[in-house]
A and B are shown apart, each in its own frame.
Chain A
């Protein structure tokens, strides 16, 4: 089979993407920066950096620490605010022949509703990703995605306001992510985005202080991929055909395939872009090669094909049921 015979298109709820590879929120700035390196129409979709109601200057540096096969970040949602984003960044992005998934983040349930209202009639937005799981907030109590009730309230504030597809971005730092995902879907979410970064910390032992000015930060990169694969697998098994954007440590075409086999409909690449600006087009090219080489006509046909663990190795299933 040749690469021209394979079909990379996937359905993400009502959205049809030309390929499953999208940007991870917070890893693509305005889009112009990366357009210096490749044509954005090569992407399945652009998921934008989270915007908030008001501009945020973000946290003080140092904001990043490289860790073993990963990195911690504590940016603090630096963004120009939703109004400036709609005025200055979205029009350019919307003209790039790529679906735009707008990420929004609020401090309160009301703010999610207000953000949804602000974006409701703005042209050029294909879907919303509702970031209810940013770990870099002062009060862990307002990480909505840590509780089913708050998850449902935040998502309902958005889904009751817009007709756009809505994806709830969730954190793996919970006991039962499938339960949180179910709460999001019950509140009207089209699908879920799994996973946000894991809350982590690194210490400079010479200086005897945290490497990040904020103390803690979000862990991303290859180090978290198994956690993300597990989360996608659990939620896919629990919720069946609910669309899932798989996120966490993907870099190569094989990583994308792994996420799809776990149950992802689309796969975001984030931290890998920091390491190689052309990671995403590289993975897209590699996907066609992989499918052709394996005589698989369609990527979508691979979704969730991973079977049950081999007999005698059912531990993951048992812990989920416990």
Chain B
């Protein structure tokens, strides 16, 4: 049931979509949904909330938009099965109609001038960053994607990209890529002030302007990324992850400590300037 309202093009819509494809991606599921009115205005970092039919469930589930095909009116959702709602959704057959609301929340702010961009993701949080990376590369920025997880099984499989995107993979158990934490790689890459990207005299040489950090993943990882970025004086945007109730800004569930109170992840975020968040108050975020 959609209400007819005058709205600006960037406002979210309450609508339905059709599941047109689904495929596994490592330990995750990629659902492709036809929802043209949601796709039009969506930017990386935003999300949709999806109604789930699992028995006894009540609330819609929020999922980050992992990419769009504007011409076809399609959006991709990368889903980790964590409970009944997500389990129900990934089991839907193709052509199922799903109720959804979106695009919701704030997306990543993209720099105007050519900039060295370090994208730091944990687990399936990397999915939204792949979309962001494509946009940044297309706009002429120098982009590195740092993808981390506990193990190879939890690493999001980044699809093959054009050469302009440098990919660094890291796992805590060393089962793939470098061994350690994704923030270890971030420290190294931030130390590399000479801008190794683009090669000899490369046109993407942007190191002089300093790097910008974009992060998406679990809160303790975001806290660590924010700390590293702050210690080196680098601007940092984080897409925060909190349990949500309504997803549209009215229930005050998904709050993140910021300043002297809380901000709502669903409408003030999910993308926030890392310096706004009071990381010491975030569970698992204190150092």
Contact = CB atoms under 8 A, between A and B. Distances in A.
A282 interface: yes
B3 interface: yes
Interface residues of B, number: 35
Nearest to B10: A36
Interface stretch (A70-78, A87-95, A113-121): A70-78
Contacts of A68: 56
Contacts of A36: 7, 11-12, 248
A289 to B, nearest CB: 12
A57 B262 CA distance: 7
B1 A75 contact: no
Interface in A272-293: 273-278, 281-282, 285
Interface in B1-56: 1-3, 5, 7, 11-14, 51, 56
Interface string A146-163: 000000000000000000
A68 B253 CA distance: 18
Contacts of B250: 27-29, 33-34, 273-274
A69 B57 CA distance: 6
A278 B60 CA distance: 13
A135 interface: no
Interface core residue of B2, B5, B99 (most chain A CB under 10 Å) = B5
Contact of B249 (A26, A29, A222): A29
Interface string B248-279: 11111111000011100001000000000000
Interface stretch (B74-82, B128-136, B239-247): B239-247
Contacts of A55: 261
Contacts of A29: 249-250, 252
A39 B3 CA distance: 8
A276 B252 CA distance: 16
Interface of B: 1-3, 5, 7, 11-14, 51, 56-60, 99, 101, 242-243, 245-246, 248-255, 260-262, 267, 281, 283
22 contacts: A29-B249, A33-B249, A33-B250, A33-B267, A34-B248, A37-B248, A42-B3, A58-B255, A61-B253, A68-B56, A69-B58, A70-B58, A222-B58, A274-B58, A274-B246, A274-B250, A275-B51, A275-B246, A277-B101, A278-B1, A278-B14, A281-B1
